Amino acid sequence: MKRVLVELKNLSKKFGKEHVIKDLNLDIYEGEFLTLLGPSGCGKTTILRMISGLEKVTSGKVIIDGKDVTDIVPAKREVNTIFQNFALFPHMTVWDNIDFGLKMHKVPRTEADKRIKDAINLVKLKGFENRKPDELSGGQQQRVAIARGIVLNHKVLLLDESLASLDLKLKREMQIELKKIQKQLGITFIYVTHDQDEALTMSDRIAIINNGTVEQIDTPENIYRKPHTKFVADFIGEANILTGKITKVSENEAVVSLPDNMDLTIDNKNYQVGEEKTVVIRPECFDISSIESLDSFKGVVKEYIYDGMITKLIVQKDNTELRINLMDASSFKEGSDVYLKVPKKYIIVLGDKNE
């Protein structure tokens, strides 16, 4: 069993009358890359600031490495933050920026010099030691910020939308590199972002935050494949979300009847006939054909959108629009009839317990 390093217990935060974080509980393991993902204004940055101590806690507890740090100032907490705009000290060189924390912690000179050198090598900034931040590119500034954050050998690094200001290509590179650095150091990264690509690429676990609470916390794959709530299904990736009723139940299978005569066969998990169910179907999970087959239902291609790697189809089934993504959609033109099927292993039924 992994050891819990950061523990948030019944954490609440109010700004005036606004209840930003509501009774939040979260365990973060040693050495994991955890992402707090949510729409802007969901409170994810506030959670991060309460861990670092830069924001006071209204009620509840923050426990780091077994120690209650709720009332301890940021300087005394064994965590470091990488800010969205990096917050490098403009009047200091790269070396002095990285050295700042070591000086504040009175680390002996020879030891400090060695640690700075190691950090600079790790983030590949050799030769830039004497530059000032404004003489560096965005990516290089990011690296300085990482080096400054890890040089104190604290067990937790907090990253506040740290890649948001980089351009797309650089962002992709830094995502992979950040993950590499995290693995190499074996420390806990808590990363805040509203960018789901980033979250899926880098994280060991993702906590989806909505309205100040954790909607779901799981591995990226489970978050995508087994969302627990409508919000999670909708927020991560594209999804067709449909609500219908269970109309038939047999020993192993059940049929859920969705609006517009779409009947889908699903695994029976103690469903009752008449029970209302919401199902989620990812756009890439459809079997699509121009020939009718058993159990398939008919739709009409309404829109055909070429998007490089995939082609997006919007298929009209009576009053319902279905989003379908295909690798090769050359045989389906706008206006043509198509027959759809969904393999039951790809149908996500929300509200299922014991997943």
Partner 1 sequence: MNKKLDLFKNISLWPVVIYSFVLILLPLLYILFLSFCETDYVGGINYHFSIVNYLTIIDSTYLLIFAKSALIGIITTLICLVIAYPFAIFLMDKKEEVRNALIKLVMIPFLTNSLIRTYGWIVLLRKNGIINNGLTSLNIIKEPLSLMYNNIGIIIGMVYTLLPFMILPVYAAVNKLDPNLIKAAKDLGANKFHVFKDIIFKETISGAFNGSLMVFIPAIGYFFISDILGGGKQMIIGNLIKDQFLTARNWPFGSAISIFLIIVTFLLVRVYKKIGGNIDELGGM
Q: Are 102 and 153 in contact (CB under 8 A)?
A: no
Nearer to partner 1, 84 or 257 (CB): 84
Six token digits for residue 113: 């010099």
Cβ proximity to partner 1, 160 vs 218, nearer residue: 160
Q: Of 55 and 204, which has the nearer Cβ to partner 1?
A: 55
Shortest Å distance, C-beta 90 to partner 1: 7
> What sign for the dihedral angle of Cα 33, 34, 39, 44?
negative
Amino acid making up residue 336: S
User: What minimum distance in Å lies between the beta carbon of 5 and partner 1?
Assistant: 18
The C-alpha atoms of residue 64 and residue 52 are separated, in whole angstroms, by 10
Task: Count CB neighbours of 52 within 10 A.
Answer: 19
Nearer to partner 1, 76 or 353 (CB): 76
User: Given the complex with partner 1, which of 192 and 258 has the nearer CB atom?
Assistant: 192
Tell me which residues touch partner 1 (CB under 8 A): 52, 54, 73-76, 79-81, 83-85, 87-91, 100-101, 104-105, 148, 152
Distance CA 314, CA 276 (A): 26
Q: CB of 3: closest distance to partner 1 in angstroms?
A: 24
Question: Exposed, middle or buried by CB within 10 Å (0-12, 13-18, 19+), for 347?
Answer: middle
Q: How far is the CB of 283 from partner 1 (least distance, A)?
A: 39
Residue 82 CB, shortest distance to partner 1, in Å, is 9
Q: Which two tokens stand for residue 219?
A: 């591995």
* Residue owning tokens 């295909």: 326
